A and B are shown apart, each in its own frame.
Chain A
Amino acid sequence: MGLTNTTSDLLPGTLELLILQALVSGAKHGYGIVEHLRLASDDILQIGESALYPALQRLLVNGWVAAKWGVSENNRRARYYTLTPMGRRQLASERAEFDRMVSLVQRILEA
């Protein structure tokens, strides 16, 4: 898949869901989120900056994540994102929605 600069091969809204999920295990900076998703997807999902940062901004605007400046492993200033309580609720509801949707799609495909 190479450098993925768009989310076109993901369902709309899925990226946000994945980011929220990535943050469940603790605060991460942008690159950390990308790496987490890459590892978790066995190198299949590689999120580009132009998809990641707008998505992060949307999450910030909605108040689902909070950001705090910290220091990265290579000693640069980096912004660490954490889930807010609201984000946690959102994740739960979106997950349920996603599951419903996937099972729906599956049912159709298997029919």
Chain B
Amino acid sequence: MRRWFRRLQFWVHGARLDEELLEEIETHRALRQAALAERGVDDVTASRRAMGNVTLAREESRDARIWIGLDDLARDVRHGFRGLARQRTFTTFAITTIALGTGTLASVLSIVFAVLVRPVPYPNANRIVQIGQVIDGRTRSEVSTADVTALREASQSLSRVTIAWFSSASLAGEGLPERARLVYTDWQGFDLLGVRPVIGRVPTAADEARDADPVVIIGYRLWSQRFGAARDVIGRPLRVDGQPYTIIAVMPPEFRFPAPYWAAGDLWLLRGPSHPSWPTSRARTVLAFGLMKPGATIERAQAEADVVAAGLDARFPDPGGRIGLRLTTWAETVKSTTRPRLMFIVGIAFVVFLIAGVNVTNLVLSRGLARRREFAARIALGAGSGRLARQLLTEAGVLFAVGGALGLIIAIWGSRLIVAVASFDIPRMEEAVVDGGVAAVAIAITLMAAIGVGLASALQARTARLSPLPDVAARGASHSRRWRACQRALVAIEVALALVLLTNAAVLLDGARKLARVDPGFDVSGVLHARVSLPPEKYGKSSAEVAFYERVLERLLALPGVTAAAAVNVPPGVGGHGGPLVALDDDPVPASVRDLRSADLRVVTSRYFETLRLEPRAGRVFSEVDARSLPVAVVNEAFVRQYFAGRSPIGRRLRVTFDGIGELDTSPRSIVGIVPDIREKTLYEPVPATVYVPLRQADWRFGLRMALLVRTARASVDLVPSVRAAIASVDPEQAAFGFMPLAELMASELSVNRLILALLSVLSTMAVFLAVVGVYGMSAQSVRHRTREIGIRIALGGSQSGILRLVLREGGILALAGIAAGASMSIWTADLLRSAVNGLDRASPGTFVFAAIVLAGAVFTGCYVPARRAARIDPAIVLRVE
């Protein structure tokens, strides 16, 4: 302890001590000289012999005094800054490169931290499990309320089992009607997550009693936006989908169910598994979560769930096979769904950082070559190699410290940008922030890079030796050639990495382009999309929902510019909603859902086909009359191909199940028409067999959630206020939401990839740019280095084009080496990309060739400029200078 203190003292008084030491050594020298003189050695020799190595003595004494030479460090830092300030171009470029590299890395790390590293804001987080159904070995995240009830009764390990279902609702009461994100759960859900409300009280079992006052719990966003964060909001009424509720609590912003989407709710309504609105079968309708008792293990809980599942199989026999239950810890759920995609982005960020690092290494090595004379002189004057290494490490450190600090600032802004651009559902991604942890990891990685670069330049400096002819040493010694080879290798690596990013970007772009070219089979343009969700309490009875749509559509059609309007349960761009749901008239009576034929079901109003500009291929489409006449259906061509082997189905009859559990239409429907296939969702995959059914002839529940499609002659978004007004005039408590042009809804399939595409485009452009700069630097330096040789060549009659070729060949070899090395890596990463991004084709060889050509062109440009310079060398001037 005291020793440290003394060292510190020494350091503080460093300058004085240094002078004292000098004086002391001077005395020593004088004494020795006198002694030598006494022994008869002549003055000059005596003084020379007495001198010894004063500098070394001083340096090493200082080293002994201050342990790792704190003052050296301070001086090196000063020196480093001064050197960097002198070489402005070098510094600007190096720091920018580092800043971009670190910035990219830290932005991406901030997302990884938010999603995978930072602890979840629930006190019980590590005891929460998600419950899924296992059918044919595949785990589905939805389960039935019967599963939940059975688990509640039988499981010893789970103290709480709750459900969650995400929906939306119209709000009325105070303020304007608006849409809000609604979550159905029950009191156990609040208990399970263990989050305290901001104000108010969490619900209890008593709130769910049949005769209890209906209560609603609201979220932070709704509280601050709709209620102005008023403290007295508790106890106020709120109309949700027309029903009155009393607000009992405001939950903090982080309160949300750990569902696959982590959807944040605006309000929560209590609707437990035994609520009459849920089906009593094993139909998958809700998400379920459990809370393990303290000390319980997931294995034990799973074993109990297996017993429960066996019991359920006995109670609800399903000839299709057994339906298992599977518990997954929630942390595992989050990680397994997001890790591949995140890791891919992290990979990209590392590649960019690597390119940045390689580029800086190259810059520093180039600068090192230019400084050989300085290093050689310092070594000759007695600077220890350790001392020199320390200085170069410090210089690299200064460079990376400044660049890294800038990079962190970029990242603060960059992580927000990524979150904003990324429209996809990575849970908790919006929590991404550059905090201490992120900064620490980024700084650690940057520091490692700094040490790597510093060591490389120190190694290089060690080889600097003064030869008797300093000029020759500075120019062409063999070790300097070795360093140049090393630099060339680095440039080739850069080119290779750039190629990897470029091909991946090309593969994605290619995918996007192909997707844009696919003809969806109907006219997407000029159609506005909006969603409506009606409250079951008000619209469940006597076809009220059908009347609602008929009146709304009538008003919409009356608007100027509107040529057609319709409602559909699943609009194009959303897709799905298919499954085993059709039985043809000559099919045997189905024993279970699994015996039905698979098809997508579209419940539509009569002008649906007109709105999409679909003409029937045979027969007719629906008319107003169908609503009140015999049951009918329209099928698409895929349906005819699949189930009628291409023969005409007109006049044949089929039955449809609307509940997904096998309850068929009471009376069969006649097939009255065939419409062309349209690609609604996956533009790559074949169009599924589809059955269209008029809304009026469908189960009433379909009417509760429909999409409105309005075709106009004008730009479709102008229509939004008119659509709102039309709905309000029919029912002021309902609000439409999700307004967007249908074309945009269709395009959102790609939106998942938009982030990766945007990142890859920007980053690969940057990578190519960095590679070009690297190649340029390499060539320029090589030309400078060979000025004399080129001068002689020209003097001896070498042609300009010959010189041009000479320099270009050097760059070309580099580019080829880089591209060759990058090609195999690209193929591998493109496969990786395909596994991370849905709907990508296997990259065609053309894509790779294209990327390689682009890169080769860029590299060529990079060495063309120095090559031109070389070709214009005037031998007279060059040789005279020598």
The finding on whether chains A and B are genuine partners in a shared complex, rather than unrelated, reads yes
Q: Can you offer 18 A-B residue contacts whose CB atoms are under 8 A?
A: A5-B52, A30-B27, A31-B28, A48-B52, A49-B29, A49-B57, A50-B56, A53-B58, A55-B64, A61-B3, A61-B7, A61-B10, A61-B64, A61-B65, A74-B31, A76-B26, A78-B27, A79-B24
8 more contacts with CB within 8 A, not counting A30-B28, A49-B52, are: A48-B53, A49-B53, A50-B60, A53-B24, A57-B65, A61-B65, A63-B6, A74-B34
Q: Name the B residues within 8 Å of A60 (CB-CB).
A: 6, 65
Q: Name the A residues within 8 Å of B34 (CB-CB).
A: 74
Is the interface on chain A under 10, 10 to 19, 20 to 34, or 35 or more residues? 20 to 34
Q: Are A53 and B21 in contact (CB under 8 A)?
A: yes
Q: Are B6 and A61 in contact (CB under 8 A)?
A: yes
Contact of B831 with A by CB under 8 A: no
Contact of B49 with A by CB under 8 A: yes
Contact of B61 with A by CB under 8 A: yes
Contact of A31 among B2, B7, B32 (CB under 8 A): B32
Contact of A58 among B2, B35, B64 (CB under 8 A): B64
Q: Are B31 and A72 in contact (CB under 8 A)?
A: yes
- Chain B residue at smallest Cβ distance from A30: B28
User: Taking the nearest CB of chain B, how far is it from the CB of A43, in angstroms?
Assistant: 11
- A53-B21, A57-B65 in contact; A77/B27 too (CB < 8 A)? yes
Q: Are B63 and A54 in contact (CB under 8 A)?
A: yes
Q: Name the A residues within 8 Å of B35 (CB-CB).
A: 35
- Chain A residue at smallest Cβ distance from B34: A74
Contact of B299 with A by CB under 8 A: no
Q: Name the A residues within 8 Å of B21 (CB-CB).
A: 53
Closest 3 CB pairs of A and B: A50-B57, A57-B64, A31-B31
User: Taking the nearest CB of chain A, how far is it from the CB of B4, in angstroms?
Assistant: 10
User: Taking the nearest CB of chain B, how far is it from the CB of A54, in angstroms?
Assistant: 4
Contact of B731 with A by CB under 8 A: no
Majority SS at the chain A contact face: helix
Contact of A29 with B by CB under 8 A: yes
Q: Are A54 and B64 in contact (CB under 8 A)?
A: yes
Contact of A108 with B by CB under 8 A: no
Q: Name the A residues within 8 Å of B42 (CB-CB).
A: none
User: Taking the nearest CB of chain A, how far is it from the CB of B1, in angstroms?
Assistant: 11
- Chain B residue at smallest Cβ distance from A49: B57
Q: Name the B residues within 8 Å of A52 (CB-CB).
A: 28, 57
- Chain A residue at smallest Cβ distance from B63: A54
Contact of B174 with A by CB under 8 A: no
Contact of B20 with A by CB under 8 A: yes
Contact of A3 with B by CB under 8 A: yes
User: Taking the nearest CB of chain A, how far is it from the CB of B13, in angstroms?
Assistant: 12
A74 to B23 CA separation, bound complex (whole angstroms) = 14
A29 to B49 CA separation, bound complex (whole angstroms) = 20
Contact of B116 with A by CB under 8 A: no
Q: Name the B residues within 8 Å of A30 (CB-CB).
A: 24-25, 27-28
Contact of A62 with B by CB under 8 A: yes
A48 to B34 CA separation, bound complex (whole angstroms) = 16
A12 to B787 CA separation, bound complex (whole angstroms) = 52
Contact of A72 among B2, B7, B27, B58 (CB under 8 A): B27
Q: Name the B residues within 8 Å of A79 (CB-CB).
A: 20, 24, 27
A59 to B53 CA separation, bound complex (whole angstroms) = 21
- A31-B32, A57-B65, A74-B34 in contact; A49/B6 too (CB < 8 A)? no
Q: Name the A residues within 8 Å of B32 (CB-CB).
A: 31, 34
A74 to B63 CA separation, bound complex (whole angstroms) = 29
Contact of B879 with A by CB under 8 A: no
Interface centre among A5, A48, A49 (most CB of B within 10 A): A49
User: Taking the nearest CB of chain B, how far is it from the CB of A103, in angstroms?
Assistant: 30
Q: Name the B residues within 8 Å of A74 (CB-CB).
A: 30-31, 34
User: Taking the nearest CB of chain A, how far is it from the CB of B580, in angstroms?
Assistant: 85
A102 to B24 CA separation, bound complex (whole angstroms) = 34
A35 to B60 CA separation, bound complex (whole angstroms) = 21
Q: Are B53 and A50 in contact (CB under 8 A)?
A: yes
A63 to B5 CA separation, bound complex (whole angstroms) = 11
Contact of B54 with A by CB under 8 A: yes
Q: Name the B residues within 8 Å of A48 (CB-CB).
A: 52-53, 57
- A3-B49, A61-B10 in contact; A53/B61 too (CB < 8 A)? yes
- Chain B residue at smallest Cβ distance from A53: B61
Majority SS at the chain B contact face: helix
Q: Name the A residues within 8 Å of B49 (CB-CB).
A: 3
User: Taking the nearest CB of chain A, how far is it from the CB of B72, in angstroms?
Assistant: 14
Q: Are A77 and B23 in contact (CB under 8 A)?
A: yes
User: Taking the nearest CB of chain A, how far is it from the CB of B10, in angstroms?
Assistant: 7
Q: Are A5 and B56 in contact (CB under 8 A)?
A: yes
Contact of A78 among B24, B52, B57 (CB under 8 A): B24
A39 to B232 CA separation, bound complex (whole angstroms) = 96
- A54-B63, A57-B65, A79-B20 in contact; A5/B53 too (CB < 8 A)? yes
Residues 21-45 of chain A: 1 if any B CB is under 8 Å from the residue's CB, otherwise 0? 0000000011100110000000000
- Chain B residue at smallest Cβ distance from A71: B27
Q: Are A49 and B25 in contact (CB under 8 A)?
A: yes
A60 to B364 CA separation, bound complex (whole angstroms) = 40
Q: Are B3 and A53 in contact (CB under 8 A)?
A: no
Interface centre among B7, B30, B57 (most CB of A within 10 A): B57
Contact of B30 among A3, A34, A76 (CB under 8 A): A76
User: Taking the nearest CB of chain A, how far is it from the CB of B45, in angstroms?
Assistant: 12
User: Taking the nearest CB of chain B, how far is it from the CB of A34, in angstroms?
Assistant: 8
A72 to B21 CA separation, bound complex (whole angstroms) = 15
Q: Are A54 and B27 in contact (CB under 8 A)?
A: no
User: Taking the nearest CB of chain B, how far is it from the CB of A74, in angstroms?
Assistant: 6
Contact of A54 among B3, B10, B57 (CB under 8 A): B57
Q: Are B65 and A49 in contact (CB under 8 A)?
A: no
User: Taking the nearest CB of chain B, how far is it from the CB of A63, in angstroms?
Assistant: 7
Q: Name the B residues within 8 Å of A72 (CB-CB).
A: 27, 31
Q: Name the B residues within 8 Å of A58 (CB-CB).
A: 64
User: Taking the nearest CB of chain A, how far is it from the CB of B385, in angstroms?
Assistant: 15
- Chain B residue at smallest Cβ distance from A55: B64
Residues 69-83 of chain A: 1 if any B CB is under 8 Å from the residue's CB, otherwise 0? 000111011110000
User: Taking the nearest CB of chain A, how far is it from the CB of B409, in angstroms?
Assistant: 41
A35 to B23 CA separation, bound complex (whole angstroms) = 19
- Chain A residue at smallest Cβ distance from B6: A61
- A54-B64, A61-B65 in contact; A76/B27 too (CB < 8 A)? yes
Q: Name the A residues within 8 Å of B54 (CB-CB).
A: 49
Q: Are B28 and A49 in contact (CB under 8 A)?
A: yes
Q: Are A54 and B7 in contact (CB under 8 A)?
A: no
User: Taking the nearest CB of chain B, how far is it from the CB of A50, in angstroms?
Assistant: 4
Q: Are B23 and A54 in contact (CB under 8 A)?
A: no
User: Taking the nearest CB of chain A, how far is it from the CB of B381, in angstroms?
Assistant: 14
User: Taking the nearest CB of chain A, how far is it from the CB of B118, in angstroms?
Assistant: 45
Contact of B2 among A54, A63, A73 (CB under 8 A): A63
Q: Name the B residues within 8 Å of A5 (CB-CB).
A: 52-53, 56
User: Taking the nearest CB of chain B, how far is it from the CB of A33, in angstroms?
Assistant: 10
- A3-B49, A61-B64 in contact; A31/B3 too (CB < 8 A)? no
Contact of B52 among A50, A55, A73 (CB under 8 A): A50
Kindly identify, within residues 39 to 79 of chain B, every residue whose CB is under 8 Å from any CB belonging to chain A: 49, 52-54, 56-58, 60-65
Q: Name the A residues within 8 Å of B10 (CB-CB).
A: 61
Q: Are B61 and A57 in contact (CB under 8 A)?
A: yes
A103 to B856 CA separation, bound complex (whole angstroms) = 73
User: Taking the nearest CB of chain B, how far is it from the CB of A25, in angstroms?
Assistant: 18
A84 to B21 CA separation, bound complex (whole angstroms) = 20
Q: Name the B residues within 8 Å of A63 (CB-CB).
A: 2-3, 6
User: Taking the nearest CB of chain B, how far is it from the CB of A5, in angstroms?
Assistant: 6
User: Taking the nearest CB of chain A, how far is it from the CB of B550, in angstroms?
Assistant: 95
User: Taking the nearest CB of chain A, how far is it from the CB of B297, in angstroms?
Assistant: 58
User: Taking the nearest CB of chain B, how far is it from the CB of A28, in angstroms?
Assistant: 12
- Chain A residue at smallest Cβ distance from B10: A61
- Chain A residue at smallest Cβ distance from B2: A63
Q: Name the A residues within 8 Å of B31 (CB-CB).
A: 31, 72-74, 76
A8 to B57 CA separation, bound complex (whole angstroms) = 15
Q: Name the B residues within 8 Å of A53 (CB-CB).
A: 21, 24-25, 57-58, 60-61
Q: Name the B residues within 8 Å of A34 (CB-CB).
A: 28, 32
Q: Name the A residues within 8 Å of B57 (CB-CB).
A: 48-50, 52-54
Q: Are A54 and B52 in contact (CB under 8 A)?
A: no
